Amino acid sequence: MLGLHINLSEGVPVSSVQEVGSLLSADKVFLGKAGIRFASENGALNMDEVHLPLTAQVLLRISVLH
């Protein structure tokens, strides 16, 4: 069995930073767990941007396996 841990809170995104700005700090890294939670609770998180890093991470792992 193979598992994948999706990350939306730490480090740099594998997707384009221009496309996921609401998930990132000024340093172009994810906001962190508390930052993502705060952005979500205050309406600053663009949910349309959330699927991009999710998809990019899955596609990256699939390409590594093949």
Tens of pLDDT, residue by residue over 5-36, are: 899 999 999 989 999 999 999 999 999 999 99
Q: What does the H/E/C string look like for 19-37? A: HCHHHECCCCCECCHHHHH
Q: Residue 1 pLDDT more than 80?
A: no
Question: In this predicted structure, what is the pLDDT of residue 56?
Answer: 92
pLDDT confidence bin for 46, thresholds 50/70/90: very high
CB 56 within 8 A of CB 18: no
